[in-house]
């Protein structure tokens, strides 16, 4: 099936060239677009007069498992440190998740992403007592909504041998099944040397990288120095993780100068999640010296990548004096990572139709200024993923939104009763 977007103004996401005209959109996970009329009559024509059409967005680090936490009862104790936030909130929740709750979380997150123009999610999942089948459940939910993905299970030693071995087995089975992803690890302070070696070997076996939280809080560095006499990045390097170029290091806040240099000189990817860092009060950092492979994520806080880009810009004024162009580049680097991983679902036929009501002219030169100060999620009118219309006039049309949200609320109640 082909879609034809009539009278659009196409913004090329790389060159920022503005091309007025009609866009023919091919369907399929690796489909393209063309500015010539398709040979057969299109099956659907959308009038885009006055609208900006550009590549849709991707999230470099998400946690769909956190979806049912919104509005949950207060923890038994108010956390006073990052390790207590994990212990009393996130680890308390993820241990109580079952496959139904995971499916509800994935569907609801996918709807939020789609409505915000995000058609590809790189997720980091945890459910230590519902590990088996969890990644395929998330993949199927994302496919129902129409999103592309790279998934992983965050394996760790924190809950002992059972969940650790289940995490390795789930990762191996999921990747062997042919769906795309990484080998997930929680963080250095919850991963012993034998597990780190097993995970690196598994990533080599499946020709992928490790996806891990790195020095999010100072305590991660203190733990690595006390136990291994190394910084977190030095430890990862010693176990071969930096040699895997599809590796994603989330956060990288408390690195030494030497470690910052190691990251920038390696081929690995870094994800900045500034709103989550502010929420957890773990500190923030600049990313300009960490190389060209810096992406943006939400860390499960929300599913709005335009919001993440604005936060990176605002916080980046204090930490690194970041410019519009650099933030835009980081926002778009996720596509370069997905391409390197060879994952389907992010080719040229992933598009957002933006009803951008600007009081000033948009040009190729000034677009990054509009990106930071003007454009936001409310401008996302319709979304095309893999050549298929998935959001039309701000409503998801691939699944019944109201039914999914009712199911999510039911699963939320089930989860909260167990907390």
Residues engaged in binding Zn ion (CB under 5 A): 299
Nearer Cβ to Zn ion, position 33 or 102? 102
The vertex-119 CA angle with 247 and 146, nearest 5°, equals 115
The vertex-204 CA angle with 201 and 208, nearest 5°, equals 125
* Residue 216 beta carbon to Zn ion: minimum distance, rounded to whole angstroms: 7
**C-alpha to C-alpha distances, 70 to 65, 130, 306, 332, nearest whole angstrom:** 11, 21, 21, 28
Q: Which residues of 171-194 are buried (b: 16+ CB within 10 A; e: fewer)?
A: beebbeeebbbbbbbbbbbbbeee
Nearer Cβ to Zn ion, position 116 or 298? 298
* Residue 250 beta carbon to Zn ion: minimum distance, rounded to whole angstroms: 5
* Residue 10 beta carbon to Zn ion: minimum distance, rounded to whole angstroms: 34
Name 92's Cβ contacts closer than 8 Å, sequence gap at least 6: 75, 419
Distance, C-alpha 291 to centroid of its chain: 19
**C-alpha to C-alpha distances, 263 to 125, 218, 250, 267, 348, nearest whole angstrom:** 24, 18, 12, 8, 30
Residue 311 near residue 113 (C-beta atoms within 8 A)? no
* Residue 419 beta carbon to Zn ion: minimum distance, rounded to whole angstroms: 20
Nearer Cβ to Zn ion, position 95 or 414? 95
Strands laid side by side in the 57-62 sheet = 57-62, 118-123, 148-150
Nearer Cβ to Zn ion, position 233 or 389? 233
Question: What's the sign of the alpha-carbon dihedral 84, 88, 236, 209?
Answer: negative
């Amino acid at each position: 099936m082909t879609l034809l977007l009539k009278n659009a103004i196409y913004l090329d996401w790389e060159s920022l060239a503005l091309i007025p005209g009609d866009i023919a959109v091919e369907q399929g996970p690796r489909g393209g677009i063309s500015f010539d009329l398709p040979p057969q009559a299109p099956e659907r024509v959308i009038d885009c007069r006055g609208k900006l059409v550009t590549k849709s967005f991707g999230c470099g680090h998400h946690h769909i498992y956190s979806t049912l936490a919104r509005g949950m009862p207060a923890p038994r104790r108010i956390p006073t440190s990052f390790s207590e936030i994990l212990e009393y909130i996130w680890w308390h929740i993820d241990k109580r998740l079952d496959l139904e709750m995971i499916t509800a979380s994935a569907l609801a997150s996918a709807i939020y992403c789609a409505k915000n123009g995000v058609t590809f999610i790189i997720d980091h999942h945890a459910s230590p007592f519902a590990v088996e089948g969890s990644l395929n459940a998330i993949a199927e939910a994302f496919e129902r909504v129409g999103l592309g993905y790279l998934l992983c299970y965050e394996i760790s030693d924190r809950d002992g041998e059972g969940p650790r071995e289940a995490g390795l087995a789930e990762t191996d089975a999921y990747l062997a099944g042919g769906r795309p992803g990484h080998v997930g690890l929680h963080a250095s302070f919850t991963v012993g040397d034998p597990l780190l070696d097993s995970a690196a070997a598994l990533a080599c076996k499946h020709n992928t990288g490790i996806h891990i939280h790195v020095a999010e809080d100072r305590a991660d560095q203190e733990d690595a120095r006390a136990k291994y006499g190394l910084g977190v990045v030095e430890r990862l390097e010693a176990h071969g993780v930096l040699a895997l170029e599809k590796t994603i290091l989330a956060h990288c806040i408390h690195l030494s100068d030497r470690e910052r240099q190691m990251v920038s000189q390696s081929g690995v990817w870094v994800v900045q999640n500034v709103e989550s860092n502010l929420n957890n009060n773990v500190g923030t950092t600049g990313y300009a010296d960490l190389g060209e492979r810096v992406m943006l994520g939400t860390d499960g806080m929300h599913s709005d990548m335009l919001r993440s880009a604005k936060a990176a810009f605002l916080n980046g004024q204090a930490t690194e004096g970041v410019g519009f162009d650099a933030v835009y580049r980081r926002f778009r680097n996720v596509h370069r990572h997905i391409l390197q991983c060879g994952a389907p679902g992010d080719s040229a036929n992933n598009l957002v139709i933006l009803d951008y009501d600007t009081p000033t002219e948009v040009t190729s030169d000034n677009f990054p200024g509009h990106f930071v100060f003007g454009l936001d999620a409310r401008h996302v009118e319709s979304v095309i993923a893999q050549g298929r219309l998935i959001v039309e006039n701000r409503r998801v049309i691939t699944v019944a939104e109201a039914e999914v949200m009712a199911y999510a609320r039911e699963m939320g109640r089930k989860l909260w009763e167990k907390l």
